[in-house]
Amino acid sequence: METKPITIEFFHDVLCAWCYALSPRVERLKKEYGDKIEVVHRSFALAPEPDGIARIFGSKEQGKIEILGHWRAANENDDEHRIHAELMARKDFDYPYSTPGLLACKAAELQGGNAMHEKMFNRIQKAHMTDCDNIADFQVLKKCAADVGLDVEQWSKDFRSDGETNARRGSASRISLWC
* Mean pLDDT computed over 151-161: 96
How far apart CA 150 and CA 154 sit, in angstroms, is: 8
Question: Could you read off the pLDDT of 76-126 as tens digits, one per residue?
Answer: 999 999 999 999 999 999 999 999 999 999 999 999 999 999 999 999 999
> What mean pLDDT is reported for the chain?
89
* Mean pLDDT computed over 152-167: 78
How far apart CA 71 and CA 21 sit, in angstroms, is: 10
Q: Any idea which fold 6-160 has?
A: Glutaredoxin (3.40.30)
Question: Could you read off the pLDDT of 65-86 as tens digits, one per residue?
Answer: 999 999 999 999 999 999 999 9
List of E strands, 4-161:
6-12, 37-43
* Mean pLDDT computed over 11-40: 93
β-bridge pairing 6-12 and 37-43: parallel
- Is the pLDDT score of 179 beyond 90? no
Instruction: Give the pLDDT confidence score for residue 96 in this predicted structure.
Output: 95
Instruction: Give the pLDDT confidence score for residue 4 in this predicted structure.
Output: 85
Residue partners of 107: CB distance under 8 A and separation at least 6: 120, 145, 155, 158, 159, 161, 172
What is the share, in percent, of the chain residues with pLDDT greater than 90?
80
pTM of the model: 0.87
Show me where the domains of the chain are located.
Answer: 6-160
Instruction: Give the pLDDT confidence score for residue 162 in this predicted structure.
Output: 67
Q: Angle CA(154)–CA(158)–CA(160) in degrees, nearest 5?
A: 120
- Is the pLDDT score of 63 beyond 50? yes
Q: Which of 14-23, 64-73, 158-167, 170-179 has the lowest mean pLDDT?
A: 170-179
Find the Cα–Cα–Cα–Cα dihedral 138, 142, 145, 147, rounded to 10°. Answer: -130
How far apart CA 177 and CA 141 sit, in angstroms, is: 21
